Amino acid sequence: MPGRPDGVSRVEPTSAWPALRGIAYGGDYNPEQWPRETWRDDVRLMREAGVTLVSVGIFSWALLEPAEGEFDFAWLDEVIDLLHENGIRVDLGTPTASPPAWFFAAHPDARVIDRDGRVMGFGSRGMASHSAPAYREAIVRIASALAARYADHPAVVLWHVHNEYGVPVGEDYSAHSVAAFRTWLRERYGNLEALNAAWGTAFWGQRYTAWEHVGAPAIAPSVVNPAQRLDFARFTDAQLRACFRAERDAIRAHATQPITTNFMANQSWTTDLWKWAAEVDVVSDDSYPWAADPENEIGLAMASDLTRSVAGGAPWILMEHSTSAVNWQPRNVAKRPGEMARNSLAHFGRGADAVLFFQWRASRSGAEKFHSAMLPHAGTSSRVWREVVQLGADLGKLAEVQGSRVVADAAILWDFESAWAQDLEWRPSVELDHKERTRAYYERLWRDRITVDFALPTHDLAQYPLVIAPAQYLLTARGAANLERYVAGGGTLVVSYFAAVVDEHDRVHEGGYGAPLATALGLRVEEFLPLREGEVTTVAYGGAELTADAWQEHLVLEGAEVRGVHQGGPAAGGPAVTRHSHGRGHAWYVSTRLDPAGLAAVMADVYADAGLAPADAPEGVELVTRRGPDTDYLVAVNHRDTPARIPATGRELLADAPVEGALELPGGAVAVVRTPHGATGDTAS
């Protein structure tokens, strides 16, 4: 993988995938929370459940290095040897998400300070400043010591650096962070004039005359310069990655196993996962959908698709999810019977070649004692345990799917920098939440079973018949030129409102909003016309009346044809939805917030332009195809209680039964059908 800094003597990874055959199964294992007698019981039960891979040591720093520079590996030796004797492989963590008490006693300046100026206390996790020199030194010391000791242990197949960078601590306003921010800015801008220009410091008299005056965008009486905040978000991401790189390179100096760190695709907005994916040997992700969402399978799918996309389509590791309830949401709804398997196999369907949980055995003490586990407090006489054992057996039947790749039909743009910029204060309306529109478009495609890859505006998009830009507020000239080329080359592009408004410094593009896309879209936006809270309007679209709210714009057409007309609100009588033929392709612009039915109506016409057709299956059935060298695998998940019948032919791997023409999928069930190439209806290659 790219991104390795030069000049470090190190060994190369032997492979990008843990040396495991089949779909890995297991979870975080925290034996230090239990007496030794329990460990033997653990491995016996792990074998019973079909566990093949466990993550060890993620929060063990205080035990491994009880005093600065003094190490105690005896217990870990014992645990890893025991796992090895039982054929269970180890994903070895570096414990750097939670430094020991002695570290903070020695280095009180290494504590994180939040935007409001509060110094973070001890007794939790994620308390250390990623910019503190003492922290940097300490993480390299512990990572090196672990790597030197376990590099050659045959059980260790993967390294797991830190835990969920950016959660719970991303931004840090400590003195170390401010100093590092200045250094980062100097490297980025070279001189103060360039910084003043990029941040537009002529506004509100912010102009800087000395680097020492430049600070982090801490809380202030009014809104802080958005360009400064955007750069601080970029800097924060870069600092976290620098910490990862420091540990990774310390490990790599000794060890050949692949190295990863667990992302949080559905929660973290601090880390630019496109950049992170280039740093790891294999992508891994933690998945915790919002339990109260009655259709949380959609959010789960979206996070999986993003994870796979940042991995460049390669198989990835589901590093954590939950067997049942989590412990940190307002109402921790327990998973219903069968839901864990549906969740697990939905991730698998979207490219995960490992299904792991937080955690193996439910804790007795501590902040997470009410979090579900593979082995619950109730023990083995429990529904959860029985389902865990069943899932292990099922995954064992899916070994041949390992390494196959998901077939995607369309792309949605997902740009962290644009999201960071868009979600700052003082935008034209509080309704302009980038996640809301991204989810709305994703959801439409999910319901139509059009599998999505995520992409950046600068990516090569030619392979996708359809590209959607649901929230591309920030668009660089390069990104805009790429999107224009995509359309000219025959693609179908859909752009949602408030797009291409600013450049990389959050400076408004001149010449009308969306000017960089004017050629592709055949229009410009003269004025934003946000609606009042609760104001609902309609759009005449074909013979239909679509419902919309929140947002309108005054469009000036430069060649686009009008497909939908506002029937009320400040833009009444003006265009709401347009389509422009450009080169060999078409660009659609949707300048209002359509409700789901309205979006469905527009997208049906968009699909026709793109030559896409929704797959044939009852509502609530998720269908994804993974493609291997010789065969396709249709993964079908029925999220409803009612049975479904799906056209398919081949062999169903879980029941090991033939499927001739139709797959009968009971309510709540999952099936994986091996079919000839192309027989799943997914013809994209």
Catalytic residue numbers read: 164, 320
Least distance in angstroms from the C-beta of 53 to ligand GAL: 16
State the Cα–Cα distance between residues 490 and 480, nearest whole angstrom: 16
Q: Indicate the residue type of 199.
A: W
Contact status, residue 414 vs residue 455, Cβ threshold 8 Å: yes
> C-alpha distances in angstroms, 381 versus 357, 375, 395, 448, 631?
19, 10, 22, 40, 39
Nearer of residues 98 and 552 to ligand GAL, judged by Cβ: 98
Q: Which residues pair with 286 in a beta bridge?
A: 320
Q: How far is the CB of 354 from ligand GAL (least distance, A)?
A: 15
Question: Exposed e or buried b for every residue in 322-351, given b needs 16+ CB within 10 A?
Answer: bbbbbeeeeebbebeebbbbbbbbbbbbbb
Indicate whether 358 belongs to the interface with ligand GAL (CB under 6 A): yes
DSSP letters spanning 523-537: EEEEEEEEPPTT-EE
Report yes or no: 486 and 585 within 8 Å, Cβ to Cβ. yes
Of 327 and 463, which CB lies nearer to ligand GAL in the complex structure? Answer: 327
Nearer to ligand GAL, 368 or 423 (CB): 368
Minimum Å gap between C-beta 388 and ligand GAL is 16
Question: Is residue 595 within 8 Å of 547, Cβ to Cβ?
Answer: yes
Q: Please pick, from the candidates 65, 297, 320, 553, the single residue that binds ligand GAL as defined by CB under 6 A.
A: 320
Copy the structure tokens of residue 116.
């409001």
Q: Which is nearer to ligand GAL, 228 or 359 (CB)?
A: 359
Minimum separation from the CB atom of position 327 to ligand GAL (A): 7
Joined together, the tokens standing for residue 299 give 């959010």
x/- mask, ligand GAL, residues 265-294, rule CB under 6 A, reads ---------------------x-x------
Give me the residues paired with residue 530 across strands. 551
Nearer to ligand GAL, 17 or 288 (CB): 288
The DSSP call for residue 205 is G
The total of other beta-carbon atoms located within 10 Å of residue 478's CB is 12
**Residue 29 engages ligand GAL in binding (rule: CB under 6 A):** no
Find residue 539's DSSP bridge partners.
546, 566
Min dist CB 188 to ligand GAL, Å, is 31
CB of 339: closest distance to ligand GAL in angstroms?
16
Shortest spacing between CB 27 and ligand GAL, in angstroms: 10
**Judged by CB, which is closer to ligand GAL: 83, or 264?**
264
- Binding to ligand GAL in span 482-521, by CB under 6 A: none
Instruction: Record the tokens describing residue 475, joined without a space.
Output: 């668009």
Q: How far is the CB of 326 from ligand GAL (least distance, A)?
A: 4
Distance CA 571, CA 554 (A): 6
Residue 162 found at the interface with ligand GAL (CB under 6 A): no
Q: Does 164 bind ligand GAL (CB under 6 A)?
A: yes
Q: Which residues, 6+ apart, have CB-to-CB distance to 124 below 8 Å?
A: 168, 367
In the bound state with ligand GAL, the residue whose beta carbon lies nearer, of 291 and 635, is 291
Q: What's the chain's Rg over C-alpha atoms?
A: 26
Which one, 71 or 269, has the nearer CB to ligand GAL?
A: 269
- Given candidates 368, 400, 535, 605, which one binds ligand GAL under the rule CB under 6 A? 368
Q: Which of 326, 354, 520, 599 binds ligand GAL (CB under 6 A)?
A: 326
Minimum CB distance to ligand GAL smaller for 225 or for 271: 271
- Give the whole-angstrom CA distance, residue 534 versus residue 528: 18
Nearer of residues 144 and 267 to ligand GAL, judged by Cβ: 267
What whole-number distance in Å separates Cα of residue 130 and Cα of residue 171? 9
Q: Which is nearer to ligand GAL, 164 or 448 (CB)?
A: 164
Is the CB of 357 or the CB of 464 nearer to ligand GAL?
357
Cβ contacts of 17 within 8 Å, gap of 6 or more: 258, 282, 315, 353, 403
Site string for ligand GAL, 115-154 (x = CB under 6 A): ----------------------------------------
- Smallest distance, Å, CB 76 to ligand GAL? 18
Polymer length in residues for the chain? 685
From candidates 149, 371, 459, 626, binder to ligand GAL by CB under 6 A = 371
Binding-site size, ligand GAL (CB under 6 A): 9
Do 570 and 584 form a contact (C-beta atoms < 8 A)?
no
> Which ranges of 113-261 does DSSP label H, i.e. alpha helix?
133-150, 175-189, 192-199, 226-252
DSSP-derived secondary structure letter, 216: -
Q: Name residue 624's amino acid.
A: V
Instruction: Compute the least distance from the CB of residue 371 to ligand GAL, in Å.
Output: 5
| Closest residue to ligand GAL using C-beta atoms | 358
Nearest to 201 by CA among 226, 171, 173: 226
DSSP state of 503: -
Partners of 644 in the β-ladder: 665
**188 strand-pairing partners:** none
User: Minimum distance between the CB of residue 315 and ligand GAL, rounded to whole angstroms?
Assistant: 21
> Which residues lie below 8 Å from residue 473, measured CB to CB, with a gap of 6+?
418, 421, 422, 432, 434, 498, 499, 500, 501, 502
Shortest CB 323 distance to ligand GAL, Å: 11
Tell me the sheet residues that pair with 162: none
Strand 492-496 and strand 621-627: the pairing is: unpaired
Contact status: 91 vs ligand GAL (CB under 6 A):
no
Distances (CA, A) of 419 to 219, 235, 413: 20, 15, 11
The rounded distance, in Å, linking the Cα atoms of 261 and 279 is 10
Taking the C-alpha atoms of residue 359 and residue 357, their distance in angstroms, rounded to an integer, is 5
Q: Which residues pair with 552 in a beta bridge?
A: 529
The residues of the shown chain that bind ligand GAL, judged by CB under 6 A, are: 163-164, 286, 288, 320, 326, 358, 368, 371
